[in-house]
Amino acid sequence: MVLQQALAEREQAVNTPRIQQTVAAHFGLKMSELRSKRRQRTVVFPRQVAMFLCRELTDASLPEIGRHFGGRDHSTVLYACTKIAHMEETDESVARLLWQLRRTLVP
In a domain, 2, yes or no: no
* pTM greater than the 0.85 cutoff: yes
Q: Which domain holds residue 101?
A: 14-105
Measured CA to CA, the distance from residue 107 to residue 102 in angstroms comes to 8
Query: Is 37 part of any domain?
Result: yes
Number of folded domains that form the chain: 1
**Domain assignment of residue 18, yes or no:** yes
Q: What is the pLDDT of residues 52-104, one digit of tens each?
A: 999 999 999 999 999 999 999 999 999 999 999 999 999 999 999 999 999 99
Q: Is residue 9 in some structural domain?
A: no
pLDDT band at 1 (very low <50, low <70, confident <90, very high): low
As a whole number of Å, the CA-based R_g of the chain is 14
6: in domain: no
DSSP character string of 86-106: HHHHH-HHHHHHHHHHHHHH-
CATH number for position 69: 1.10.1750.10
- Report the C-alpha gap between 16 and 2 in whole angstroms: 26
